[in-house]
Amino acid sequence: MNNIVNLLKEIEDYAEENSIPIINKVSSQLLIDIAQERSPRSVLEIGTAVGYSALLMISHMPVDGKIVTIEQDANRIDTAYDFITRAGRIEQIQLLDGDASEILLQIEGPFDMVFIDAAKGQYLDYLQKVMDKLSDGAVIIADNVLFRGMVLSDEPPHKRYRTIVKRLREYLDFVSHDSRFSTTIHHEGDGVAISYYRGANK
């Protein structure tokens, strides 16, 4: 455990020095709690960056657990590969290089847990593309869903963020009202939506 703790700290420093966005402390703790509680054997992550959240999850999953993670930035995926190799987890974490919107159409499930942390305007599209690959009872964790408070604010968002805010609202509306999901929104940090998939026939 000490080795992984040290490596995660090194990745936090690397991310800070290189302006790479990684999961915050609030979302990290939620991921740890859910991984420990649900013991997922197969996890899909959308948005690897340099592998921080993937390594965090795998270190709290069952020993035979596996993660498939998608990243479109070639430099980041190379760095993630190095960190994951150093952690000795390359057999358990499969890195897929490319646009998640396309890759999601090609991969096979089932997944017990999905962590959505890539393009904020695409969350609903990602979810719709993974829906037929979810195990019954799967948990979907979507990070940054309140987007700096703008998603729940009555103030009109700045023009630059209008589409992201509109699409995040659509994502939250979908997971909150579709009978196949039961969703809780955590307001701490930048907002995290945790949705449990009840199955296709609910």
Binding stretches for ligand SAM (CB under 6 A): 21-23, 47, 49, 52-53, 70-73, 76, 99-101, 117-119
Nearest to ligand SAM of 95, 165 (CB atom)? 95
| Residue 110 near residue 135 (C-beta atoms within 8 A) | yes
Cβ contacts of 62 within 8 Å, gap of 6 or more: 39, 40, 41
CB of 22 to ligand SAM, least distance (A): 4
Structure tokens, 34: 């859910």
Closest distance between ligand SAM and the C-beta of residue 92, in Å?
16
Q: Tell me whether residue 6 or residue 200 sits nearer to ligand SAM (CB atom).
A: 6
Which CB, 12 or 178, lies closer to ligand SAM? 12
Nearest approach in angstroms of CB 103 to ligand SAM is 7
Task: Between 144 and 195, name the residue whose CB sits nearer to ligand SAM.
Answer: 144
Residue 149's CB: how many other CB atoms inside 10 A?
12
Least spacing, CB of residue 156 vs ligand SAM, in Å: 25
Nearest to 172 by CA among 155, 148, 136, 147: 147
* Smallest separation (angstroms) from ligand SAM to the CB of 50: 7
Does the CA dihedral 53-92-45-195 come out positive or negative? Answer: negative
Burial of 108 (0-12, 13-18, 19+ CB in 10 A): exposed
Nearer to ligand SAM, 26 or 119 (CB): 119
